[in-house]
Structure 1
C-alpha cells in the first residue's frame, strides 16, 4: 500500500552500486544535453497529470488520508495535553520539559503513520512536498483536509476529558497571540505583536523544513541515515523550535510558533472565540516558509536534489499553464 499511498519520501532514482548513498560531487553533475532531454520529457506532461487530478478519484489515496486524519487527531490530543500538563505541573522550566515530550511524540507518530501515507501529519509537510513535486497538489489537498479534520477530532477528544476551567484557561492548548488579563483599570490584552508572530512563524517553519524534513526529502541522506534517526531528528528540531519560540519572546499570552496549521485549526473550531483572532498567521507564515524552501531547492545544484525530475514540480505546473495560454 505504501507505493500507492504517496509516500513523501519517494526515491527519484537509485544510486549506482559504486556510488552507494553518498552525495555525489559537483563534477559528476549531468551534462547540459541530459538536462535538456529531461526538460523535453517534462514538457510532455499535461496539466491534469501535473496536478494529479486523477488522485481525487483514487481509493488508495483516500484510504491513505485516513492515516493522516487519525495521526493528526492523536498528535493534537497528545501535544495539547502535554502543553496543559507541563504548565499545570509545578516544575522548573516547563518549556524545556514540553519541548522534550513534543520531540518524542512527533518521532513516534511519524514512524506510526509513515507506512500508511508517508508520515506527513502536518500541512507544512504536505504543501512543501507538493511544491517540490514529491506528491501531487491534489494529494496534498486531500491530506491537508484530512489533517484539519483530524485536528478537530483531536480537539474534541481533549474537550471531552478536561474540565471547563482547564479548557478556558488553556484555550484547549490552541495557538494564541494574546490573552486578556486583569489590569489596574480593567481587563487588558497582552501578548505578541502580529508582525512579530508572523515572522516567527515563517522563520520557525523554514528552519523546520531546512534542518530536518530536508533529510527525509533527500533519499540519499534518508537511506544513509535510516528512517528512525531521520524521524528522531525531525522530532528534536521541532522540540527545539517549540522551546525557542516560547522562551525567546517571554511574552504571556503567546503560545509559541504553531508550525502545524491543522493543530491550530482544530482548537479554533472547537473552542472558537479569540483563537480565531489572527488565526491567518498560522497558515500564512508556514505557506511563505514552504515557498521559500521550494526556491531553495531550485537554487542548489541539481545533482544534490533532482527536483527537475518530479512531474508535480510547482514550476513545471506554471510552465504547463503558460504553454496552454499561448
Structure 2
C-alpha cells in the first residue's frame, strides 16, 4: 500500500505540473517547474513512506536493489505490481480532473515519448533513458548503503531526479521509471502506447547495470 500511495503521488504531482500546472507549454523555462515537481514528490515520499517500504516508487529501483543483493526476490513482483497500480491510479485521477476543464481532457496526458521534430531519434531516447536510470539508481543505492547512510538520502535522491529532468525533458519527457510511463500512456492514444516498450526496457536495463555495479561495492568505503 505504501508503494501504491507513493507512486500515485509521484505520477499525480509530476504529471499534473504539465497538465494542470501548465508548465508543459513553457519549455525550456517550464522544464524547471516539471523537474522540481517530480523531484520534490520523490523527496516527500522518501521521508513519508521510506520507513515502511523504502519508497522505491519505481520498478527500475526495485530491480536495481534486488540485483545489488539488498532486496529479497520474493518482494520484487509485488513491489512492481504495486508501483504500476499506483502510477495508473495517479494518471486516472489526473485525467478525471483535467476532463473537468471546459476544453476537455488533454490528448496526451504528460506521456513520455521521443519526437523526431525535436531532432532526437529512438536511439537517442533509449540511450538517454538507460544512462539516466543507471545514474539515478546508482545514486539511490549509494546514499542508502549502510556505510553511506544519511538522513539526507531522500534529498539527494530527489535532487538527482530533478537534474535528470532538467537535462532530458526535451529528449523523452524524462521517465527513468516504467510505472511513471505506463499510467499516462494509457490515457494518451496510440503513439505513446506504441513507444511504451522503450520506457520499460531502457530504464530496466540501466537499473540492472546499476544493481550489478553496486553489488561489487566499488562505491563503498572499506
The verdict on a shared fold, with TM-score over 0.5 as the criterion, is yes
**Following superposition of structure 1 onto structure 2, how do residues 191-230 of structure 1 map, counting pairs within 5 Å?**
191=118, 192-216=120-144, 218-222=145-149, 225-226=150-151, 229-230=152-153
Give the match for residue 149 of structure 1: 85
- Match of 1:80? 15
Find the aligned partners of 1:234 and 1:119 in 2 and give their Cα distance: 11
1:101 equivalent in structure 2:
37
- The answer as to whether partners of 2:148 and 2:220 remain within 8 angstroms in 1 is no
Question: Corresponding residue for 1:190?
Answer: 117
Measure how far apart 1:292 and its partner are: 1.4
Structure 1 residue runs without a partner (length 5+): 1-65, 179-188, 306-326
User: Is the alpha carbon distance of 1:292 and 1:92 closer, same or farther for their aligned partners in structure 2, counting shifts above 3 Å?
Assistant: closer
- Cα distance change, pair 80–302 in 1 and its aligned pair in 2 (3 A): closer
How many residue pairs get aligned? The number is 218
Q: Residue 127 of structure 1: CA displacement?
A: 0.9
Question: Once structures 1 and 2 are overlaid, which stretch shifts more, 196-205 or 262-271?
Answer: 262-271
Distance 1:98 1:269, change over 3 A: closer
| Cα shift at 1:194 | 1.0
Q: Which residue of 2 aligns with 1:175?
A: 112
Is 1:289 paired with 2:203?
Answer: no
Deviations 1:153-201 (Å, cap 9, x if unpaired)?
A: 11110111003756434x11111223xxxxxxxxxx7353111100000
Distance 1:168 1:131 in 2: 38
- Tell me how far apart the structure 2 counterparts of residues 269 and 89 of structure 1 sit (CA, whole Å): 21
Larger CA Rg, structure 1 vs 2: 1
Question: Structure 2 unaligned runs (5+)?
Answer: none
Deviations 1:43-94 (A, max 9, x none): xxxxxxxxxxxxxxxxxxxxxxx11112111211111001232426769711
Q: CA deviation at 1:271?
A: 3.5
Contact 2:62 2:80 in 1 (8 A): yes
Q: Larger deviation: 264-273 or 114-123?
A: 264-273
Deviation string 1:182-232 (CA, Å, 9 cap, x unpaired) is xxxxxxx7353111100000110011122344211x11211xx32xx1101
CA distance in 2, matches of 1:114, 1:157: 24
- In 1: Cα distance, 2:157 partner to 2:219 partner: 24
Q: Please give the secondary structure, in 1, of the residue aligned with 2:106.
A: helix
Output one character per residue of 1:223-243: Cα deviation in whole Å (capped at 9) or x when no partner. xx32xx110110000000000
> In structure 2, how many angstroms separate the alpha carbons of the residues matched to 1:70 and 1:213?
22
Give the structure-2-normalised TM-score. Answer: 0.88
Cα distance in 1 for residues equivalent to 2:196 and 2:11:
17
Aligned-CA RMSD value: 2.4
The answer to whether the Cα contact below 8 Å between 1:130 and 1:140 also exists between their aligned partners in 2 is yes
Residue pairs, 1:1-326, within 5 angstroms: 66-84=1-19, 85-87=21-23, 93-163=29-99, 165=103, 167-169=105-107, 171-178=108-115, 190-191=117-118, 192-216=120-144, 218-222=145-149, 225-226=150-151, 229-247=152-170, 249=171, 254-255=172-173, 257-301=174-218, 304=221
Q: Is the 2:137–2:211 contact (alpha carbons within 8 Å) kept by the matching residues of 1? A: no
Contact 1:103 1:239 in 2 (8 A): yes
